[in-house]
A = this chain, B = another copy of it.
Amino acid sequence: MYRSNTCGELRLADIEKEVTLAGWVSKIRKMGGMTFLDLRDRYGITQLSFNQELDQDLCDQANKLGREWVIQITGTVKERSSKNPHIPTGDIEIIVSTLTVLNASKTPPFTIETDTDGGDELRMKYRYLDLRRNVVRQNLELRHKMAFETRRYLDERGFLEVETPVLIGSTPEGARDFIVPSRMNPGEFYALPQSPQLFKQLLMVSGFDRYFQIVKCFRDEDLRADRQPEFTQIDCEMSFVNQEDVLQTFEGLTKHLFRSIKNIEIPDFPRITYADAMRLYGSDKPDTRFKMTLTEIKDLTPGREFGVFDSAEYVGAICAKGCASYTRKQLDELTDFVKRPQIGAKGLIYLRYNEDGSLKSSVDKFYTEEDLKKWAERCNAQPGDLILILGGETEKTQKQLCELRLEMGTRLGLRDKNNYKCLWVTDFPLLEKDEELNRFFAKHHPFTSPKPEDIPLLDSDPGAVRANAYDMVINGVEIGGGSIRIHDSGLQKKMFSVLGFTEERAQEQFGFLMNAFQYGAPPHGGIAFGLDRFVSVFAGLDSIRDCIAFPKNNAGRDMMIDAPSRVEQEQLDELGIILSQKKLP
């Protein structure tokens, strides 16, 4: 045994005990004839004490140690004269009697502390050192706990975790697949799954009834801050259920996680339809930690020769409480904000409802005080409030107002990371039209069932068909989404035809699922959570990278192991593939 205790567990009750500890040298301080050393492991920090007068040799040894050396010591637990209230072991220290160096260390390229001096690139290259930092390790501990508690909750409710294959077939639909050449089947490729969607539906056909899996999925997409080429899903499916059963089960899971991990009781989740979410928040993943909902005022704007609003399909406003006193500079900042290319508004109209009850807007030359009063009333504004208004094409403008709303929420401190607001968004449209290609795509995926009452619209007005689809949203982040599936092969065929698949194409790509559906598919539905995002929300992180042990950068590279990389010619020969010279850099 290398140790009798960890560096995080000794307390006053252990005084006078003889102990053996092992860990990393975190700090060394010399004071007079004393040397104090912080010994660190995953569990905490314990102070070691060396007294020159008691043992000169040992003290000399301690003085020769460097940061991040790995040592083992034995000694006696003593009460500290000056206690450290910031750490759980702060009441005690170890008077060391023997010291063994288990491994030396070079000086690390950055300090192993919460606020490190390592830049992002350096930390990724030396990720094994970055992972020594408490903040990073705690994120991974949280991830472990969330995965474990998820499994416990689902196991208790009869869900079986079934592993589905990683080497599957490629489907041209959806995002780009990573593909894997097969040596045993030259010219053919496996694909890595974007999700186990088809397999979990097959498991329902097999009668598994309640399936889940915490599983890696893959997408060869251009990366953004919150995307990784490999990511983890909590993938779930149930048979003989309707939408209500699924929502109850996974609302329960989320409440369980908040309760067991953060000791927070979350009330029943409010539900909002997709249409209402867009109307009130301009988003299908509204941040409901604060209200400031969108108000349409288009009908209050015409007839005053203001071209911007007159030509707009939609005019909408948000009301920022207590912001009437915003300065010119602050208003200019907001105007610049909405004009950013990624938001794309042309300008911002404001209306101040001053404390004295007077109204002042940037469109005073077009609108009377009477007009503006109506706007303020519609927005439920009070004296002291600031109304911000955008006009244009409906959906685009709603999205811009959404961004502006989030920005105001942030400025007003209404988006506290420790305040959790969960909700369900329901009744998503089944289809989404690609105007350029003039065809419909499945908004969720081609197996999502339409609402029975909307099925007749599949022919007459496909865009208006609502799906039995739902998203779980926490604090403006889409944590999970799912749907009730089509289990009738006739309806599935209809769906493929609406999506513009020829029968052969549908057969080629999804034939095995459609065949399976002919042998007694039960009604079923499910949901998939993005574990990375779920953990990020729990941890209050801005990027999912911080809860992934070994993430890749925006070019899909692992900086630490330097992957991807060239492979040996022999390996390519065996696979029967040749590198195209055109593509090589």
Contacts and interface: CB of A to CB of B under 8 A. Distances in A.
Interface string A178-197: 11111111111111100000
A88 to B, nearest CB: 16
For the residues of A in contact with B, the DSSP-based class is loop
Interface in A148-195: 148, 151, 155, 160-170, 172, 176-192
Interface in A118-169: 126-129, 131-132, 137, 140-141, 143-144, 147-148, 151, 155, 160-169
Nearest to A510: B561
A425 to B, nearest CB: 23
A563 B169 contact: yes
A102 B577 contact: no
Contact of A187 (B104, B189, B518, B583): B583
A570 to B, nearest CB: 9
Contacts of A520: 24, 68-70, 103-105
A148 B161 contact: yes
Given A105-B520, A144-B160, A582-B576, A556 B207 contact: no
A188 B522 contact: no
A564 B203 contact: no
Interface in A369-389: none
A108 interface: yes
Contacts of A85: none
A-side interface size class: 35 or more
A566 B517 CA distance: 25
Contact of A584 (B186, B242, B560): B186
A31 interface: no
Nearest to A559: B512
A151 B584 CA distance: 45
B42 A564 contact: no
Residue of A141, A552, A580 with most chain B CB atoms under a 10 A cut-off: A580
A549 interface: yes
Nearest to A104: B520
Interface string A20-48: 00111000000000000000111100000
Given A160-B140, A163-B232, A170-B571, A132 B583 contact: no
Contacts of A151: 148, 151
Contacts of A488: 103
Instruction: Say how many copies of this protein the assembly contains.
Output: 2
A106 B518 contact: yes
Given A2-B242, A163-B216, A181 B183 contact: no
Interface in A358-404: none
A128 B565 contact: no
Nearest to A187: B584
A561 B169 contact: yes
Given A105-B520, A181-B179, A519-B128, A170 B208 contact: no
Given A132-B207, A179-B567, A558 B230 contact: no
A466 interface: no
Nearest to A531: B163
B522 A70 contact: yes
A306 interface: no
A379 to B, nearest CB: 43
Given A186-B584, A558-B165, A523 B2 contact: yes
A178 to B, nearest CB: 5
Given A128-B205, A182-B564, A190-B564, A584 B576 contact: yes
27 contacts: A2-B240, A3-B240, A24-B207, A40-B207, A42-B207, A103-B487, A103-B488, A103-B522, A104-B520, A105-B519, A131-B206, A132-B207, A137-B206, A137-B208, A144-B161, A148-B155, A167-B552, A170-B563, A170-B567, A176-B183, A179-B575, A180-B192, A183-B220, A187-B566, A199-B550, A202-B560, A216-B216
